[in-house]
Amino acid sequence: MSKGIEYCKKAKMMGADIALFPEIWNTGYVINEDMDKLLSDAVTSDDEFVRSYGVLAKELGMAIGITFLEKTDSLPKNSLILFDRHGHNVLHYSKVHTCDFGDEARLSQGDDFYVCELDTKDGKVNVGAMICYDREFPESARILMLKGAEIILVPNACPMEINRLSQLRSRAYENMLGIATCNYPKGKPDCNGHSSAFDGVAYMEDVEGSLDTCILEAGEEEGIFIADFDIEKIRRYRKSEVHGNAYRRPWKYSLITSKEKNEPFIRKDFRQ
């Protein structure tokens, strides 16, 4: 908690509007095999650990996306709360796509994806969230786009190699929105840094050729990394380009909502 508070203060001094943490910050993404220990590691959304960041957000005048292992009436959840610059809880999201094949099989799944209107000193922006493995499902970012998200915050705890970075690039490109991912540095726990940000803007009328949508890719080390999203540019781009919801034909996609699974995609550890 104290380290996170210190880094938030530094981020504010560097000009940040939003500070984002890696996945399950209160335990360092430790998900204990011992159920008693796992349950004791979990904290409620009004625990001092979480509330301290709400107080800090108001003190600094900066939004903070804090992540934690959340205590519930059953198994804990992998959660994020976004406090706005006034200290208000404006977004509470729990990971929908838990990794049923690993440690997260001991966690409960989130129920839905959410978007909030975040008030910043430079104006309002619509912000959503997905967490780590959510990235691997195009539907996660797609539903957030359909709900109005302009920026998606992505706490993370896994090795960010070229394929996972490419997934984030694709989610930003196909939905014409910004995606900011915060990962643990090399060796904590098995991660490798490479926190990243993509703004989704690939083409501009006044620029010849295509643009690199990556506006930040950090190295492996621990640190504070600033991504500068030009929200007005993203909004102009979304009004004229062909991606997002401009030319979708959802009435042809009914199979996507089918619950039926066939080989080779049958997995014994899959949870409904």
**Residues annotated as part of the active site:** 23, 95, 132
DSSP-assigned states of every residue in 31-51: --SSHHHHHHH-B-TTSHHHH
168 close to 181: Cβ distance less than 8 angstroms: yes
Burial of 255 (0-12, 13-18, 19+ CB in 10 A): exposed
Distance separating alpha carbons of residues 99 and 105, to the nearest angstrom: 6
Q: Strands across the sheet with 151-155, in order?
A: 115-120, 123-129, 151-155, 178-182, 196-198, 214-217
Phi, psi at 68, each rounded to 5°: -165, 160
Distance separating alpha carbons of residues 156 and 137, to the nearest angstrom: 15
- Cα-Cα-Cα-Cα torsion 28, 31, 35, 38, nearest 10 degrees, comes to 20
Residue 220, number of CB atoms within 10 A of its CB: 14
Distance separating alpha carbons of residues 108 and 94, to the nearest angstrom: 9
> Pick from 68, 106, 61, 69: which is nearest to 85 by CA?
61
82 close to 17: Cβ distance less than 8 angstroms: no
Burial of 103 (0-12, 13-18, 19+ CB in 10 A): middle
Distance separating alpha carbons of residues 242 and 175, to the nearest angstrom: 10
